[in-house]
Structure 1
Amino acid sequence: MTQIATTAEPRLTSLSHGGGCGCKIAPAVLSEILRETTAMTFPEEVIVGNETADDAAVYRLNDDQALVATTDFFMPIVDDPFDFGRIAATNALSDIYAMGARPIMALALVGMPINVLSKQTIGRILEGGASAARGAGIPVVGGHSIDSVEAIYGLVALGLVRPELVKKNAGARPGDRLVLGKPLGAGVMSAALKAEALDASGYAQMIATTTQLNTPGPELAEMPGVHALTDVTGFGLGGHMLEMLRAGGTAAVLDWASVPVMDGIPELLERGFVTGASGRNWSSYGSEIDLDGGLSDLDRALLTDPQTSGGLLVACAPEATDSVLALFRKHGFAAAAEIGSVTSEPGTARLHVA
């Protein structure tokens, strides 16, 4: 397991009450907060606002270009500062890819306990973020920093896309197949890491998954058979599938046996490494999920496991499924898999897990 070079400083994960996307506000609480805010009227140039809890805002610049804007930041999910920066930046850029756009530049958001962490450690966090941005082919052109109690890092990310190619989380159609790009388990591994119970191979797998940029997004947007697109992050697979279903007014069947999972996750779950965010997620939206397959408590914890820098979730026409999977493979997403299908069901959007 990679450790911070200096022994005089605390572990980064010891400075955070919840690491990575596991520190997001619970879905139900967030909904209550947003209900009490004053609704804004958007100009007609806003193609995507906050109507369906989509991944980013989209503003039409002209007939050929739309600007995609998003921001994401969180507390440490790992102890190595460079890896923390890489994961946080990769996670922020994912929302650009999830709209079908290509990133163009980013701004850094930095909150650090400057009397606790050395300038070298903070510098390595920023270097990690810049490294991920370079992997996406963009610069980090500025940002903002504050002195804070917990270490916080992330990006404001900007991208461009043709207006007609914007992919929303709405749009899934009955009969569509659902494809997931990355395996589940980031939250479970983060819990094990914080307890110093994650071995070197598990750590390497976690880093490889959470720092893999969701680069298939723009090419997926160009495929006529792709109807909806989002990424799976802090609300878990169950939560983000439900967001897609609510946005499109549909239901879905999830084939739990087909869902890709990182190696070693069942064993870590058996040992009790479950995040608090997993339980909060279930409390927020569990009433909308039918466990037709009789999932165990551990499987349910994985269904709601917060995924930091998780995979793209695609709803596509049946005839496009093979092409979508082939595109994921071309970009190095070996675990990508078809995991279910969209159905037509009257009433409230529901997720059936078989």
Structure 2
Amino acid sequence: MTLLLVARVLLVALVTAVACALPVLARPALPFGVRVPPAREDDPVVAGQRRVYARVVLALGVLAAVGAVLAPSRHEWWTAAVPLALLAADSVAYGTAHARIRAAKERGNWYEGTRQGVTADTSLRTDPVRLPWWWLAPAAAVTVATAVVGAVRYGDLESTFTTAFAPVFAQAAVVLLVPLTAAVVTRARPELDAARPASSARRYRVYLHGTVAALAATAACVTVTLLLLALRDWELWTSSRWTATLAYAPLAVAALIWLTLEAKVGQAGHRLPTVPDEDPTSPLVQRDDDRHWHIGGFVYANRTDPSIFVHQRAGGASWTMNLGHWAAWVVVGAVGVVVVVALAFGGGWR
């Protein structure tokens, strides 16, 4: 029961930490998913909503932690119910901050007198950021090693081939998914600043290099975790609390890699230093496209935009689909079919 209590509190702390990080990770020009001109990035309304949101999220986290501690220990469903309720409450707080900043922007006509524009970097097409294949060597080596161990052990297992080698199949899927994901994010519409075209293009390229490196490192960490879980399922490793912790430790390493990227580089590279005189003085500000973003800036739908994937406004290194493009719905449907098939036929692997 003590472990259950600790799990509840840790889940509450995790949800609270993620909620607090969302506005911090976003670029200054996108407070709570609302596009604002540079002169308004530190507007009193924006600063005030940041303070209010932080206080509300922390207060909700404390209340949720108390609820997790006082909840009946015999009801395990509380372990998931409390964090889910906290997530819903934090989402309301985020949406409220988004709505208030957007209302102030419209009421004050913040873009009045500005010249709006967009910029493009054609070198991202002629000389795109690529994922070096050798970066996938660690993940591929771990996958091969897992397959060899599984082949040696398979004769002593009382399970079907599909069930026994499910970890290997999962590893192979991860290795294949990384270059596909890298291709998508490096060819998605870049987030460049019309007011700082040269510096934003340079920083975005550095950001993409860091992202594909983090993807390769994450693949290695995930395959190691799957190897350790396979050793447990193949009865080559005694299952205990400590071995379970060790098995999932590589995932913590992967999370640390992404957090380091966000801290040093930032969303679209906005934390990287600028070079003096890199950009000539520009009369433009980034075009206001709030009308295409919905649900607090998390959902993008623009029928006139040919891009299928665009950079997410909220959070850090994340992309979303343009739901105004027909191909996005094809992708959603394909993913749905894969999920249904996996749930229907993949229940044999614990």
Q: Give the helix-richer structure, 1 or 2.
A: 2
What TM-score do you get using the length of structure 2 for normalisation? Answer: 0.29
What TM-score do you get using the length of structure 1 for normalisation? Answer: 0.29
- Answer with 1 or 2: which has the greater Rg: 2
